[in-house]
Every structure is written in C-alpha cells, then in structure tokens.
Amino acid sequence: MENTEARLRIRMSSNDAHYAGNLVAGAKILGLFGDVATELTIRYDGDEGLLRAYDQVEFLAPVYGGDFIEVTGRIVKAGKTSRKITFEAYKVIASIQGHVQASACEVLDPPILVAKASATCVVPKEKQKKKL
C-alpha cells in the first residue's frame, strides 16, 4: 500500500492547556489523530473520508503547554470503503514545568509515548480516486 503513513509535529501552546498546571486535555491529541487520519485518506483515496470510530484509545503520559508532540498514523488495513488506522503520539521536546526560566525546554531522547489509538475511517466508493 502506498501513501499509508503520515506525520505531524506541533507545539502545544498555553491556549491548548485546559487543566490546572498547564495540562493539555487528551481531546487535543485525539484532534491531532483526526488531522492525520484526514491526510491519510486524502493521500490514499483523494478524499477526506469520515472517521467512523475509535476502537481503542490510551493516554499514557501527560502533555503540557510548551511540549512538542509528533503524531504518526498508518493505514494498516484497507477494505472496499474502510481504512483501519493506528496512531501514536510522542512527546519529542518537553517544556520544563515550574523552572525558574519559564522558556526552558529539553529534547527527549528517546521521545515519550504519550498516547496511542486505532480507528476506522470510511471513504465511500464513489468518492475514492481511481486506482491506475
């Protein structure tokens, strides 16, 4: 399968923080997974498709405003209209919370897996690009 992986890297801002301590809501990560799913279905089918359901979602580590998150999605199975996609979100740069220097950050080596999920997207047959 070609065009089956997409990647997005974004910095969480203080506007993304929803909870005390500058903590970002998990819903923000799900939104990033949705953006990657949209890119994947465009690349694979030529259409945005529809995210039908998440089969599984796990939030594994906290994300804070100032952190850089890298999200990867992969189409792991393609049916006639359905696309099974797996996602991973890694924290690649962490803001150092409570540091005297408010702009202090560190590059994480290795990155920290903060969330993972799997989902099904649907692209109606009439909206799929013609395969050559």
Residue 132's pLDDT is: 41
Residues in the chain: 132
Return the pLDDT at 101.
74
Joined tokens for residue 31: 């939104």
Question: What does the pLDDT read at residue 98?
Answer: 67
Residue 81, pLDDT above cutoff 50: yes
Residues 95 and 103: their CA atoms lie apart, in Å, by 7
User: What are the sequence ranges of the domains in the chain?
Assistant: 5-127
Residues 84-122 have pLDDT tens digits of 999 999 999 999 876 677 778 999 999 999 999 999 999
Q: Is the pTM here over 0.85, yes or no?
A: yes
- The fold adopted by the segment(s) 5-127 is Thiol Ester Dehydrase; Chain A (3.10.129)
State pLDDT tens for residues 38-67.
999 999 999 999 999 999 999 999 999 999
**For 3, left (φ over 0), alpha (ψ -120 to 50), or beta?**
left
Task: Using the CB atoms, write b or e for 53-76: b if 16+ within 10 Å.
Answer: eeeeeeeeebbbbbbbbbbbbbbe
